[in-house]
Amino acid sequence: MKFGVIIFPGSNCDHDAFWTLQQVAKQQVTFLWHESHDLENCDAVIVPGGFAFGDYLRTGAIAKFSPVMESVRRFADGGGLVLGICNGFQILCEAGLLPGALMRNTGLKYVCKPVQVRVENADTPFTNACAQGDVLTIPIGHMEGNYFCDQSTLDQLHRENRVVLRYVTPTGEVLPSANPNGSLDNIAGICSAGGNVVGMMPHPERASEPELGGTDGMKIFHSMIGAMANK
C-alpha cells in the first residue's frame, strides 16, 4: 500500500503524518505537492493538519483551490481513501467532500490537549480496527474545531450513521463538559456518504507511539491499512 501526504504552504503536521506512516506503520509513503495534479498512484491520501495558506479568509478556504484537491476529489469519487486531520478536515468541508463547516471554538481560544473520543461507527475503512463504543484518547490542537451543519444535514448524518467519532468523557458519556470546542452534537469526526472520506479534528499521528503518551491513534492508520489489504 502507498500513502500520499499533501503539503500545503503552512502545513505543520505533514511530516508527523509521514513519520507515523513510514516509521511506525512501516508503509510506503510520499509527499504530494499542493500545486501538482499527480497523486503518484497512491492508495490513500492524507490531508494533514496545520495552517494551510495561513488560514487566510478562513480555514481551508484557499487550500480547496489547490490543483491537488481537484485530483483528490476525483480520487474520492472513485472510492479512494481520504483522511483529513484537523486542518485537513476543514479543507475537506470547504472543498465539498464532506458536509458542514468548522467554526471558531466556543470561548474563542486555541485548545491543545488530549481528549477522549468514542467510536460511533466501526464499519468504516478508518475505524474497522476498533469496536463500536471504544473510547480513544487522542490529542487535539485547533482554534476552529467547532463542527456545525444545518438540521437537515445533521439528520442525514444520523440516519446514514456517518458520525464516526464523538467527544466523550473518559467513561464514554456524551456530555457538554466533554466537548472541547462547542461542536454540534459533540461531533469529532464524520465520513462521506460512501464511507471512504473521513474528517476528524483529533490528531491520530500524535498518539502513535508510547513516547507520545499513547498509541490509540494508530488504530485509525491500522484500520486504513487493513481496509486496503482486504480490497
Q: What is the 3-state secondary structure (H, E, C) of the chain?
A: CEEEEEECCCECCHHHHHHHHHHHCCCEEEEEECCCCCCCCCCEEEECCECHHHHCCCCCCCHHHCHHHHHHHHHHHCCCEEEEECHHHHHHHHCCCCCCEEECCCCCCCEEEEEEEEECCCCCCCCCCCCCCCEEEEEEEECCCEEECCHHHHHHHHHCCCEEEEEECCCCCCCHHHCCCCCHHHEEEEECCCCCEEEECCCHHHHCEHHHCECCCHHHHHHHHHHHHCC
Could you give the residue numbers annotated as active site? 86, 203, 205
